[in-house]
Homo-oligomer: A and B are copies of this chain.
Amino acid sequence: MTQKDSVDQFKILREIMDKFLKERDWKAFHTPKNIAMSIAIESSELMELFQWNNPTNDEVIKDKELLEKVRDELADVMIYSISMASSLNIDLYASIKQKMLKNSVRFPEKNK
């Protein structure tokens, strides 16, 4: 078994997403403009969980109810992002790695 045969998580998620949209005839609604709006809307719902407070990471981890909400909203942001990438034939995994590399060059390490 080579690495190519192994689990490609982003491919699996893209396939689940495409199947979901096709079964519901929702492909037509997933225009770039609508999905960009949807990502923004979901990210705002995530942000709303921290509107009036400023918990540490540990405090969120201990607050099971809040953590579950964060998990849910974060998943919604990701789902629309994966849908957009799929519709535009963008390789999301490669894009993220490439952008991280770009960021590493743009923001050099402190002690180097």
Contacts and interface: CB of A to CB of B under 8 A. Distances in A.
Copies in the complex: 4
Given A33-B50, A34-B51, A43 B100 contact: no
B56 A13 contact: no
Contact of A100 (B3, B17, B29): B17
Nearest to A52: B29
A57 B77 contact: no
20 contacts: A1-B6, A9-B10, A13-B97, A24-B107, A24-B110, A32-B49, A32-B57, A34-B51, A39-B46, A39-B77, A43-B43, A44-B45, A71-B95, A74-B84, A75-B96, A77-B77, A78-B78, A78-B96, A79-B96, A79-B100
